[in-house]
Structure 1
Amino acid sequence: MLNLGSLSIPLLYSIFEKKFHFIQYFKAACFSILIVAVPFLIWDALFTKMGIWGFNPDYHLSYLIFNMPFEECLFFFCIPYACLFTYEVIRYYFPTFKLSKAATILVGLQLLILTGTLLIFNFGKWYTTVNFMFFIILTLYGLKYHLETLRSYLPVFAIILVPFFLVNGVLTGSFIESPVVWYDDSENLGFRLFTIPFEDVFYAFNMLFSVQLIFNFFIRKYYDK
């Protein structure tokens, strides 16, 4: 329900909205999402096997892929499509909605200091370590080579966090009797935003910004003529 609910409106709007007509970029979107989904699914499968997180069988179908629910695999396609669509629509209708270069660099450096410090003092906790290392590398790469994209992506990501907290809140136990996804808190900071592990915000950025960068590459190469 969460997967299909997240995907339905963006997908229908992609097809039937004629001004922006995001469906013209459907192939680029699918390839971008697939390229990022593969390493994230491998990461997910390994952490599931290690018991760093797991899934409540009361809330998903019985079909498993590498010990992960079928819906977990769908997550890496449905959510990125919805977020990619959201970013592109906002950028199309509000092209000036972006941070200044100085503000983008300042926010990026503050996030690097935060995650770097937390990484040093929590190194060895698997979710914290892998997640923050990925975030640091991706953010440094973004600041150096894709500053213009970060200028517009960071404020849109702040908007994306609103539905993210709703969806991920349900997945981690908000509004329901028990969580859909459980975490071994000895492998993360143990600090939660409501019911959501703090690292999940950076995990979302890692996945979604990676998709955006690859999508931008395909658009420049195959659509901007």
Structure 2
Amino acid sequence: MKQYTYLLIDFFTVIVPFMASFHPKLMFWKNFKAFFPANIVISLAYILWDVWFTDRGVWGFNPDYLVGVYLFNLPIEEVLFFICIPYSCLFSYHCFGVWKEKNLRNYKTDLISVVLILLSVSLAGFFYDRMYPMVSFSLFAVLVAYLAFVLKPKWLGQFYFTYLIMIIPFLIVNGILTGTGLDAPIVWYNSEQIIGLRIKTIPVEDVFYGMGLIGFNLLLYEGLLAKRSAYSLNLV
């Protein structure tokens, strides 16, 4: 049973949001044509990043908690992570939009964005010689800067709110993956390639890594939704 641990984490992360996607008041399934193309593109990018870091020994995986099936030299559970986590988060984002769309999309986000950018740039610069913080904070700073001051989407406040709420289940999942409650971590990190500051067992970089993963998925997802909406209007 131990070898199914990571796979079960993926399964329980996504099963409830997936079933709830067909609820008549939520109807997230209608957005599958936007979610899955967006997710495939971003997942491929993050898988390449994952392969690179795994090959360089920045992080790795404990075979005791894996079923032993590999894709792109990564455990199949790790590949599924890039589908299950974004699905759950974008489903939650969709729900918050259904319930509180006007309030969430009216939030002022400039100050939050500036703080996130300055923090990310500072940490990337200070830890430029460590691969995980340098890459993750740099990419995150570029993402937030583009969203906040170039694209300026109406959904940015909804994104920040969603991640603020989802950070709790995200930390629970990452906590288990990094060893909380287990005899050993499922995912281990090279101490020479991270900052070393942890939230219990979770490297602090994971918080920004996760937010970047969701943000890039949302960027493409919302873009595809907007194109679909524009196309439908043209048909009227």
TM-score interval w.r.t. the shorter chain? over 0.9
**Structure 2 residue 85 is matched with structure 1 residue 79:** yes
1:99/1:155 contact within 8 Å kept = no
- 1:1-225 to structure 2, matched below 5 A, reads 1-15=8-22, 17-98=23-104, 102=108, 104-144=109-149, 145-224=151-230, 225=233
Secondary structure of the corresponding residue to residue 96 of structure 1 = helix
* Aligned AA (1:178): A
TM-score, with structure 1 as normaliser: 0.95
Two-structure CA RMSD over aligned residues (Å)? 1.4
Could you report, residue by residue, the CA deviation over 1:154-189 in whole angstroms, capped at 9, with x for unpaired residues? Answer: 111100101101100000011111110000021111
- Relative distance call for 1:27 and 1:101 in structure 2 (3 A) is closer
* Aligned AA (2:219): L
2:96/2:158 contact within 8 Å kept = no
2:124/2:135 contact within 8 Å kept = no
* Aligned AA (1:131): S
- In 1, the alpha carbon distance for the partners of 2:107 and 2:27 equals 30
Unaligned runs of 5+ in 2: 1-7
- In 2, the alpha carbon distance for the partners of 1:119 and 1:28 equals 32
Return 105-114 or 43-52, whichever deviates more: 105-114
TM-superposed CA distance for 1:146, in Å, is 2.6
TM-score, with structure 2 as normaliser: 0.91
TM-superposed CA distance for 1:215, in Å, is 0.7
2:105/2:154 contact within 8 Å kept = no
Length, aligned pairs only: 223
Return 137-146 or 91-100, whichever deviates more: 91-100
- Relative distance call for 1:174 and 1:99 in structure 2 (3 A) is farther
1:122/1:189 contact within 8 Å kept = yes
2:147/2:156 contact within 8 Å kept = yes
